[in-house]
Chain A
């Protein structure tokens, strides 16, 4: 059967395990330093705003990448989790004047619970019930955001959400918020990296390669898949809460199918099962529309093309593609040099 010889298509893990043990910590520190210093190198405040948005997407995409890259499942409803969290904390703090941390906590709890309820039945089944289940869920949530006008403000959105404040400290400037968002990205990245390197991560990769084999070896596949799904929804909820208290306004359009597709595209472009790729994919696709204003209507076409072409020709995404290209170039030049030397020998 053609499928059985599947050479573990998406994991760059083979390469990663060759690295020395401390490499991931060095990488994290370089990442923290780079993102920490970046605001000082920006030409204007506008880029800071775009980077904050890229931070929301990074959090979402790291979470979704755990699900797609490590559990081999697609969620087409991640924008809904993002939205539920944003609306929950927005409404509780805006309408009911809850303190911001309490509103955020309520949003995170609600999303975690809902994700668990969806994950348990759909992940028990083989095939791609989760993808369809989450797609349907995303659409229901979108309908509710639009229709429950008295609570959510309906299609015109919900405004008057307070800025992020923790114990009297209000994060109102973009620069402060940048550090809050990218600090969170950093923490959640480190958490995901630890998870992937743990026993859990190995079990998940085993599930991705062959669910049957993993089950035979004693991996409780249903439980692991549900855990990762709920965790990825939790990441989306964190991003949603940060979004609501930054923009201070939420409307259904930000949390529809289009956003869910954008997130999947970011994962695929960055490379499934690559956490660095997740951040890279998020940054790249946040900046692309900013750089090319003309493509406003074309962006969805571009996402479609990226999904198809990446899956066909670049299953490891940008990072792995770049690494492979680099290696190919190296071996080519080496071979070229070798051939030149041989040629010289013959001539003599």
Chain B
């Protein structure tokens, strides 16, 4: 393989994995925007998306085209439950309370997945049959195309939702100023629940599309969540489209780092970038406004 085709290969596989980081980042952003909570359970939504699809397929014998949406909807329901059972009862408490609760939720979800599904790693079959496509010396898995298309469609759907629907605008209003939004007759609690549902949904989507490429297991959520957060910071926290772009950039950088430097330190790349950004440019590469919130 020539240097150029190797480079292309790193970019392709990086962008594929990065789409999942981007969707996880989108999930962080949606919840952060309505509640100012950083949801530490975000990565677990991603994990659950993949693992529930595997189990619907293997245990339930449900065909893949049904198992995938079923898993995504299942995780969405879990997202709603998380809000109703653990976040709503303590709404308005100090940020540290909410942070610790979401850490607790993430541990419970991960531990629950470990008990139910065991510590094995699982793989999900590709969404469509067919061998890899050769492209300028690099290979492209058909699943990568699925990942790209689904990520793009999700982003467009979110854009449509936030810009063209009343609920979407109401959620943005909560992000601007919750008190004013509630004075305008917006039911802030419902918007928060909706944001948890969305966040779980996009997270699970990210998990389920990646599961055929990288294996999945009960403990992939921590890393995926953290990388999703790094992607958020990269794109500027609070900016949904920046988050997705940040995810793809992060995926590519990580893949290049693994290929050119050392695969053992692959996971460290994202956090070095995260810490570096927090030092130098906390508003993110794409963010313009100050991240200082009062």
Pairwise interchain contact B38-A127, C-beta atoms closer than 8 A: yes
Mask, B257-294, CB within 8 Å of A = 1, is: 00000101101101110110011001000000001111
Minimal Cβ-Cβ distance residue in A for B104: A307
Dominant secondary structure at the B interface: helix
Q: Are B114 and A297 in contact (CB under 8 A)?
A: yes
Q: Which residue of B lies closest to A308 (CB)?
A: B104
Interface centre among A6, A9, A128, A306 (most CB of B within 10 A): A128
Contacts of B291 on A, CB cut-off 8 Å? 125-127
Minimum Cβ distance to chain B for residue A223 (Å): 17
For residue A2, which residue of chain B has the nearest CB?
B92
Q: Does B222 sit at the interface, judged by CB under 8 A?
A: yes
Given A2-B92, A136-B271, A308-B108, A129 contacting B103 (CB threshold 8 A): no
**A301/B90 in contact, CB under 8 A:** no
Query: In the complex, A128 Cα to B210 Cα: how many Å?
Result: 28
A72 contacts the other chain (CB 8 A): yes
CB <8 Å contact, B111 and A257: no
- By DSSP majority rule, is chain A's interface helix, strand, loop, or mixed? helix
The answer to whether B111 touches A300 (Cβ under 8 A) is yes
- B107 at interface, CB cutoff 8 A: yes
Chain A residues with Cβ below 8 Å from B2 are: none
Which 6 pairs, one residue from A and one from B, show the smallest C-beta to C-beta distance? Answer: A2-B92, A307-B104, A304-B107, A136-B271, A301-B111, A304-B108
Contact between A74 and B107, CB atoms less than 8 A apart: no
Please tell me if the beta carbons of A132 and B274 are within 8 angstroms of each other in the complex: yes
- Which A219-275 residues have a C-beta within 8 angstroms of B? 257, 261, 264, 268, 272
The interface residues of chain B lying within 8 Å CB-to-CB of A305 are 104, 108
Among the interface residues B229, B262, B272, which one has the most CB atoms of the partner chain A within 10 A? B229
Q: With an 8 A cutoff between CB atoms, is A23 at the interface?
A: no
Which residues of B does A touch, CB under 8 Å? 36, 38, 40, 86, 89-97, 99-101, 103-108, 110-112, 114-115, 178-179, 222-223, 226, 229-230, 233, 237, 262, 264-265, 267-268, 270-272, 274-275, 278-279, 282, 291-294
Bound form: Cα–Cα A301–B104 in Å: 9
Task: Indicate whether A72 sits within 8 Å of B282 (C-beta atoms), given known contacts A264-B103, A301-B115, A312-B90.
Answer: no
Q: A126-B292, A147-B264, A311-B90 are in contact. Are A133 and B282 (CB under 8 A)?
A: no
Judging by beta carbons under 8 Å apart, are A6 and B96 in contact?
no
Q: Which A residues lie within 8 Å of B101 (CB)?
A: 307-308, 311-312
How near does chain B come to A317, taking the closest CB pair, in angstroms? 12
B interface footprint on A125-167 (CB within 8 Å = 1, 0 otherwise): 1111101110111011001101100000000000000000000
- List the A side residues contacting B230 at CB < 8 Å: 136
CB neighbours (8 Å) of B271 from chain A are 136-137, 139-140
Q: Check A72–B275 contact: CB distance below 8 A.
A: no
Q: A216 to chain B: closest CB distance in Å?
A: 11
* Cross-interface CB contact of B93 among A9, A131, A137, A257, cutoff 8 Å: A9
> Which residue of chain B has its CB nearest to the CB of A144?
B268
B274 and A126 contact, CB distance less than 8 A: no
Cβ contact within 8 Å between B274 and A136: yes
By a beta-carbon cutoff of 8 Å, the part of chain A in contact with chain B is 1-3, 5-6, 9, 68, 72-74, 76, 118, 121-122, 124-129, 131-133, 135-137, 139-140, 143-144, 146-147, 208, 212, 257, 261, 264, 268, 272, 297-298, 300-301, 303-308, 311-312, 315
With A132-B38, A136-B275 in contact, do A3 and B103 touch (Cβ < 8 Å)?
A: no
- Distance (whole angstroms) from the CB of B81 to the closest CB of chain A: 13
Some 13 contacts from A to B, beta carbons below 8 A apart, are: A1-B178, A2-B91, A74-B96, A125-B291, A127-B291, A131-B99, A132-B38, A136-B271, A139-B226, A139-B271, A298-B115, A303-B104, A305-B104
Q: In the complex where A3-B93, A304-B111 touch, is A133 in contact with B275 (Cβ < 8 A)? A: yes
Contact call A73/B92, Cβ cutoff below 8 A: no
CA distance A122 to B262 in the complex (A): 27
- Which chain B residues lie closer than 8 Å to A300 at the CB level? 107, 110-111, 114
Rounded to whole Å, the gap between the CB of A259 and the closest CB of chain B is 13
Q: State how many angstroms separate the Cβ of B263 from the closest Cβ of chain A.
A: 10
Distance between Cα atoms of A307 and B86 in the complex (Å): 11
Contact (Cβ within 8 A) B103 A307: yes
Query: How many whole Å from B279's CB to the nearest CB in chain A?
Result: 4
Is B107's CB under 8 angstroms from A128's CB? no
A301 contacts across to B, CB distance below 8 A: 107-108, 111-112, 115
